Amino acid sequence: MPTPQHDGGRVPTRLDGRATWLVSRAYARSSGLLGSGFETHGQGLRSYHYRLLAALEEWGPASQADLGRKTGIDRSDVTAALTDLESHHLIERSVDPAHKRRKIVTITADGVQRLLELDKVIDGVQDEFLAPLTPAQRRQLITLLSRLINPQH
Amino acid sequence: MPTPQHDGGRVPTRLDGRATWLVSRAYARSSGLLGSGFETHGQGLRSYHYRLLAALEEWGPASQADLGRKTGIDRSDVTAALTDLESHHLIERSVDPAHKRRKIVTITADGVQRLLELDKVIDGVQDEFLAPLTPAQRRQLITLLSRLINPQH
DNA sequence: CGATTAATGTTGGTGTCACCAACATAGCGA
DNA sequence: TCGCTATGTTGGTGACACCAACATTAATCG
C-alpha cells in the first residue's frame, strides 16, 4: 500500500502553482487510492492487469503485440502481466495457427467476472478521488484532462 | 529520457472516462516532458533536487527532517538527494550546535543560481505541457487540481 | 536522576510503473 | 533466396515513493 505522502506541510510557492507539480500530486493521490483498492479487493492484480483485461473484453482476442499497442504497455511488460493473468486462469494464450510466432490472447469467463468486480472497486476509487469536487467540476476536470492528453481534439 | 508511451491506439472506454486513468496519462506526459527538460538542461539533477532547492530558497536553512516534511520527500531520500546536491556544491550541511544529532542544510549561491536556471527550464515545460489548453482552461485546470489535492478549500 | 521514549540521519532494502536491448523464431518483400 | 521486420521473451535500468532498522542524541516522565 504505497500510501500517498505529503500529508502536511506547506509547499514551496515555486511548485504549488505549476501544473506539472499539481498533476504529480494528483497522481500520487490517485495511485495511492488505487493501490489501496487493488490491495484489499484486487487479489494480487495491479493496474497493468486491469488494463489488459479491459482491452480484451472490449475488443476481443488479440495478439500480445496488439495488446501492448492498444494499452500503451511495453511488449515485455505485457508478457509478464499475461503470465500472471494466465496463472489465475483469467486469460488464455494460444498460438495463432496462421502466424505461428504470434499468440492470440483471449479473456476467460473468470476473467470477465474478475473484470466486473474490479470495475466496482475502481468506480469506488473514482468517487473517493473526486470527492473534493462538485459534479460539474468533476466533468470539467475530465474534459480538461482529456484535452490535455489527447490534443487532437 | 523516459518518454511517455501510448502514442497511438485507442483506449478502452472503461478507462478513458475515468479520472484516475486520465491523471495517470497526464502524469506520464508531464513526467516525460520534465524528464527531457532535466536531461538536457538539468545537469544530472532530478525533481527531488529541485524540490529541495526550492524549499531551501523559499524558507531558508532547515534540518533534513524538516525538509522532508515540507517537501513530502522521505527522510532517506532526502539524505541521498542532499548528498548529490552537496557534491555539486549547491547546498551545505552543518551540524546544529544546539542539537548535535541535527544537520542544518543551507543553499549556496551556486545553488540559488542553479535553481533559477531550473525555474526557466520548468516554466518552458509548463508551456509545452499545457499547450493543448487555452489560457482560461489552464487556469481552470490548475484550480481544479489544487482543490483536488488540497481538499480543505 | 535515571530510564524510557522520541527524533535524527543513514543504510539498505522493496514495489510499481515505464522503458530498453538483445535474442530466437517466423513471415514477408524485393 | 536473402534480408528485413514482427513477435514473444528474458533480463536488465531508472525514477519515484516507501519502509525497517540502527546508532546517536534529546526530551520527558516517573
SS3 category, A94 = strand
Through-space separation of residue A99 CA and nucleotide C28 C1' in angstroms: 12
Residue in B147, B18, B26 with CA at minimum distance from that of residue A121? B18
User: Tens digits of per-residue pLDDT, A49-69?
Assistant: 999 999 999 999 999 999 999
- Write the Ramachandran bin of B18: left for phi over 0, alpha for psi from -120 to 50, otherwise beta: beta
CB atoms within 10 A of CB B25: 24
What number is the average pLDDT over the span B23-28?
A: 92
The pLDDT value given to residue A41: 84
Instruction: Name the DSSP letter for residue A93.
Output: E
Q: Residue B9 — pLDDT band, cuts 50, 70, 90?
A: low
Name the pLDDT band for B152 (thresholds 50, 70, 90).
low
Partners of residue A55 in chain B, C-beta under 8 Å: 12
B10 confidence band (pLDDT: 50, 70, 90): low
| Confidence band for A151, pLDDT divided at 50, 70 and 90 | low
Q: Is the CB of A13 under 7 A from strand C?
A: no
Q: How far is A12 from chain B (nearest CA, A)?
A: 6
Whether B4 shows a pLDDT value over 80: the answer reads no
Name the class of domain A18-146: mainly alpha
Q: From the Cβ of A153, is strand C under 7 Å away?
A: no
The pLDDT of residue A16 is: 84
Say if CB B73 and CB B51 are below 8 A apart: yes
Determine contact, residues B117/A136, Cβ cutoff 8 Å.
no
Q: Do A149 and B5 touch (CB under 8 A)?
A: no
Residues of chain A found within 8 Å of residue B12, distances taken between Cβ atoms: 51, 54-55, 57-59, 70-71
C-alpha cell at A72: 500503451
Q: How far is the CA of B76 from the C1' of D22 (A)?
A: 13
Q: What is the pLDDT of residue A152?
A: 57
| Confidence label for B43 from pLDDT (cuts 50, 70 and 90) | confident
Burial of B57 by CB count in 10 Å (0-12 exposed, 13-18 middle, 19+ buried)? middle
Check B20 against A11: CB less than 8 A apart.
Answer: no
Cα separation, A50 vs A108, whole angstroms: 14
Q: Check residue A12 and give its pLDDT.
A: 81
Q: Report, as an integer, the average pLDDT of A64-81.
A: 94
Which residues 61-100 in chain A show a CB within 8 A of chain B?
69-74
Cβ distance B81 to B88 under 8 Å?
no
Mean pLDDT of chain B: 90
Q: Which of residues 124-143 of B touch A (CB under 8 A)?
A: 125-126, 129-133, 137-138, 140-142
Instruction: Please write the tens of the pLDDT for every residue from B94-120.
Output: 999 989 999 999 999 999 999 999 999
Interface of B with A in 104-123 (CB under 8 A): 119, 122
